[in-house]
């Protein structure tokens, strides 16, 4: 009787786990609220203009400088759903709501699958697995270099962030089931991933090869699941290489020359991407992961892994990820390239850190009294961060919409170009400001008017800037 009661006490969630759940819910609310403030800028406007000019499919195949079929097809589908430019905020909001739900679902499925497969943890409570999923997504977000573009710049999100839940679900299918249906599902998911960002595809393909070779060394048998996966993954990349757009894009990116410095383009985004506040939140998240591992270690069977081999395998995976992430950047740009392109390496890095933290939590026990104040600190930090960013992004969105209305009112103007007031700080969402008159118009200045039926460049109203400075 006493044993049964103690087992029930072990399975009951404690205050820390409810605090972790609250932290995760606030983080999800942050993602949802911010996504409602996302507006088109820069490349979004270019791709929308291409869609208006050439249509749903042709605008992708006939693209002169880029070809990422699956991701851009998703963006073009969003364009299909809008009747006019003012409909984008609602369509984007629904898209991000579905994307973040899919990311949470796929992360939960992957963690649950790994716990069952490696730890025989069939009866792990839902709350603990769900909390592990929330903590991983938060750690993933805060460890993303230039999360502003990867998570909230829609045209980039469709090629950088969208393949991540597809990948998690594909891995879950390969591990969890050994049926034709699961193989076909995983194959379809890998096929779609292949039509997104190139260095992520290269990283995934290389890691699949490493895993396949490791399995072959142990069993001397070919793992047909992995072989079919990598073949499905490479279909669209091969088509991309054949298409002339890829070679044209490489030539057009010559402005990222080696004279800019090898580290310049990546380092310039580190201050925003991994500042002390973000690193602090990541550390707190890892401590909470450690706590959950402490809680469930009595409910699982720990495998007899060789720690040295695991460390060597982790270093091998990290090294392969670094090479496959940045080697294409060096080939194209002569340096590390845009910071958002570092996603594959930093995703692998945070996964390894997360997993090792969990394994340490299964091995070592810390005082329970330590975790509750840390969980409260996590809630305070994420609450302040969410409120601050919601305030910034919502104000930016209102001013953006007002600007568009003012531009549309000038549709019949006979002026050679139009001017618009500057926008406020956009916080964690992207915003390419208009150029000043006399500068070469970037995409926002060139396309903002054209996608609204105004065939004129739009420049920044410098008089309003001077007034504000006074």
Burial class (CB in 10 A: 0-12, 13-18, 19+), 158: buried
Say yes or no to pLDDT of 303 above 80: no
What's the pLDDT band for 64 if we cut at 50, 70, 90? low
Half-sphere exposure of 342 (CA within 13 A, CB side): 23
Q: Among 149-158, 231-240, 255-264, which range has the highest average pLDDT?
A: 149-158
Say yes or no to pLDDT of 63 above 70: no
More confident call, 272 vs 435: 435
Say yes or no to pLDDT of 333 above 50: yes
C-alpha of 36 from chain center: 17
Structure tokens that stand for 41 in this block: 């800028």
93-97: long-range contacts at Cβ-Cβ below 8 A with a sequence spacing of 24 or more? 93/35, 93/36, 93/38, 95/154, 96/31, 96/32, 96/35, 96/38, 96/157, 97/32, 97/35
pLDDT averaged over the chain? 85
pLDDT at 148: 92
In the predicted model, what is the mean pLDDT of residues 275-283? 84
433: nearest Cα among 443, 64, 206: 443
Percent of the chain topping pLDDT 70: 87
pLDDT at 65: 56
DSSP per residue over 126-191, as a string? HHHHHHHHHHHHHHHHHHSTTHHHHHH-HHHHHHHTTHHHHHHHHHHHHHH--SHHHHHHHHHHHH
Helix (H, G, I), strand (E, B) or coil at 243: coil
pLDDT at 259: 45
pLDDT at 381: 94
**DSSP state at residue 422:** P
- pTM here is 0.89
Q: Taking the CA atoms of 127, 130, 134 and 139 in sequence, report the sign of the dihedral they define.
A: positive
- Residues 6 or more apart in contact with residue 225 via CB below 8 angstroms: 174, 178, 183, 186
More confident call, 268 vs 412: 412
Structure tokens that stand for 278 in this block: 């973000």
In the predicted model, what is the mean pLDDT of residues 240-265? 58
Say yes or no to pLDDT of 466 above 60: no
pLDDT at 66: 63
pLDDT at 470: 47
Calpha distance 143→350 (Å, rounded): 7
Say yes or no to pLDDT of 276 above 70: no
Encode pLDDT of 340-355 as tens digits. Answer: 889 999 999 999 999 9
């Amino acid at each position: 009787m006493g044993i049964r009661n103690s087992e029930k006490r072990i399975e009951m969630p404690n205050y820390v786990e409810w605090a972790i759940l609250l932290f995760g819910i606030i983080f999800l609310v942050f993602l949802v609220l911010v996504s409602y403030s996302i507006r088109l800028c820069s490349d979004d406007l270019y791709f929308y203009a291409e869609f208006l000019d050439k249509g749903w499919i042709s605008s992708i195949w006939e693209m002169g400088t880029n070809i990422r079929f699956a991701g851009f097809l998703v963006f073009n589908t969003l364009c299909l759903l809008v009747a006019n430019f003012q409909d984008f905020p609602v369509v984007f909001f629904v898209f991000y709501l579905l994307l973040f739900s899919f990311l949470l679902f796929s992360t939960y499925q992957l963690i649950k699958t790994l716990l069952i497969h490696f730890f025989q943890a069939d009866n792990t409570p839902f709350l603990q697995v769900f909390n592990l999923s929330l903590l991983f997504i938060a750690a993933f977000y805060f460890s993303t270099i230039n999360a502003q573009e990867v998570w909230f710049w829609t045209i980039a999100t469709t090629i950088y962030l969208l393949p991540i839940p597809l990948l998690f679900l594909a891995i879950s299918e390969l591990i969890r089931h050994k049926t034709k249906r699961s193989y076909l599902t995983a194959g379809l998911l890998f096929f779609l991933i292949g039509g997104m960002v190139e260095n992520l595809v290269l990283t995934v393909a290389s890691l699949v090869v490493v895993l396949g070779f490791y399995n072959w060394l142990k069993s001397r048998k070919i793992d047909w699941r992995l072989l079919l996966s990598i073949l499905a993954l490479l279909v669209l990349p091969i088509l991309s290489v054949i298409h002339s757009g890829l070679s044209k894009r490489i030539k057009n990116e010559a402005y990222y020359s080696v004279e800019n410095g090898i580290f310049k383009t990546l380092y310039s985004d580190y201050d925003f991407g991994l500042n002390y506040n973000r690193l602090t939140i990541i550390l707190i998240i890892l401590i909470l992961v450690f706590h959950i591992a402490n809680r469930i270690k009595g409910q699982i069977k720990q495998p007899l892994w060789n720690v040295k081999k695991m460390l060597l395998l982790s270093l091998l995976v990290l090294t392969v990820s670094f090479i496959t992430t940045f080697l294409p950047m060096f080939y194209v740009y002569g340096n590390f390239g845009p910071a958002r392109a570092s996603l594959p390496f930093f995703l692998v890095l945070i996964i390894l850190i997360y997993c090792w933290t969990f394994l340490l939590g299964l091995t070592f026990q810390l005082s329970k009294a330590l975790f509750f104040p840390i969980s409260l600190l996590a809630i305070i930090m994420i609450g302040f961060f969410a409120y601050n960013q919601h305030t910034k992004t919502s104000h930016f969105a209102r001013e953006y919409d007002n600007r568009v209305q003012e531009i549309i009112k000038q549709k019949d103007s006979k002026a050679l170009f139009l001017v618009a007031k500057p926008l406020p700080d956009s916080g964690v969402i992207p915003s390419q400001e208009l150029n000043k008159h006399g500068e070469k118009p970037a995409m926002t200045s060139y396309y903002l008017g054209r996608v609204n039926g105004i065939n004129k460049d739009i420049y920044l109203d410098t008089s309003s800037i001077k007034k504000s400075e006074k």
